Structure 1
Amino acid sequence: MVRQAAAEVVVGDDSAPGRRWVSVLAASAVGLVLAVGAGMLWSLYSVPDAVQRQDGPRPSWEQMLENATAATAWGELAALWPETGSADVLAACSRGVAAGLACQRMRGNWTLLRRLDRPVVLRLAEPIDAHVVAVRVGDSEIILRQTGQDFRAPLAQLEQRWLGDFFIVWPDDGSVRESGDRGPEVADLQRAARRDRIRPWSGAVDGEYSVAFRDWVRAFQSRNGLRADGIAGPVTRLFLGLAEDPGDTGGKPGPDAGAARQPDGEIN
């Protein structure tokens, strides 16, 4: 009878003292689980703050981008050429050619920017619609410029903010040369064409824009992502390496090292 009573106490006699002790233990266990869970949640939510404190302040180039507007970018580009204002750059980028400057909006990658080897304005996706001047692209970092100050940024980090959209501005009178034209400007084009490392022009440098030279120009434009019409305008001259350097951009672009993609309505 004693063993039976003990079994009844363990199994389910609510009035037994042992049952009350079991209830106390159960309540304590539940409280312990809740306490541990709360501690885990507190740890999870407190980790980002701790990590943030370890990271320290943001890099200066990231802070600079918060104020990287189109207006500051146009002004930075204008400073590269004497007697040129930001209004001239803006006019060129609105119309294609203005005030002795040519401007083209393109899409490309770091390889194309290295090839062009001159300052460009990057249009970023983050911050939204930010514009910043890039003066040089290296293997692992890029030099950005704002208000006369240069900032070095890792390419891998900036690439997350850039979708390939950029503007390039260079001195050019906007003239075009096409089949049937003659003169020293055509001879300059032919000399530049002879320096093409992929398929150099093998014809005469006689200043005559012949049908053969037109066909060569058309093929050059096609393999470089330009409008292939055989007419040599500002962009074709830029890719041929005839554009005047602003002074601090290094060498001339070489052919076929990353083609440009241009929106409709591009100049040649």
Structure 2
Amino acid sequence: MTQAPDTTARRALADDVPADALLTVTGATLSFGQVRALKGVAMHARRGEVTAIVGDNGAGKSTLIRCISGVHRPDSGEITFDGRPVSFRSPEDAREAGIETVHQNLALVEDLTVWQNLFLNRELTRGFGPFQVLDRKAMRKEASSMVASLAVNVPAVTSRVRRLSGGQRQAVSICRAAGFTSKLIIMDEPTAALGVQETARVEQLIERLRDEGHAILLISHNFAQVLKLSDAVWVMRAGRCVAGRRTAETNGDEIVALITGARAGDTTEND
């Protein structure tokens, strides 16, 4: 591959937060005992774009997204979402703000149906006062509408999850994340366990979500996928976000060099 041009515009991604940024992380730190998992991380994600986060194992990618999604609270620094500083106490707080996460293990209940998984902890009820019952008919109808709107390849919303393929399960998890007024969808290795055809379907679903205006935060070890899907890419190494690039202005060689440290990043890395 040819070396990407070292342009001022490309360097500016790591330094200047655009006006249309939906998510901004500034100076985030987090320690677990003596282990410093995050060391002053700064990054941002724009509305209506796929923003990738890449790095070697242990670079801090998962810890960062857990801070964004409310699993962890940073020791210091600031997270701004949709124009205001946030400090989520739980994943439920993040979901209420419009941040949904598709975890690598999917977090689906195999013995429940598709529609039951879509509405898990979001059940629709009907009745009066304390006399409430589950509105199963409304949830099945809404689930069918959600699946149809995303063209998800699922046999029927009444199918039990254990009968679905890996790609279909991933599609259900993504559908659940996208179906409830989410502004930002975090996807952690969404195609790591899928075959070629199922990976292609999930990638098409990601592109469709972006086209509909969702912001996607994509964590992936698949550089070809990152270069194909993302609009911007952030490189993490040893708990730091060392570089940010517009994807069109970088390439696989530069990303690998930034991950390994063979090429210096945009930030000072001394403790």
TM-score category (smaller protein): under 0.3
| TM-score, scaled relative to structure 1 | 0.26
Higher share of residues assigned helix: 1
Higher percent of residues as strand: 2
TM-score (norm 2): 0.26
Larger RCO (CA within 8 A; separation ≥ 6):
2
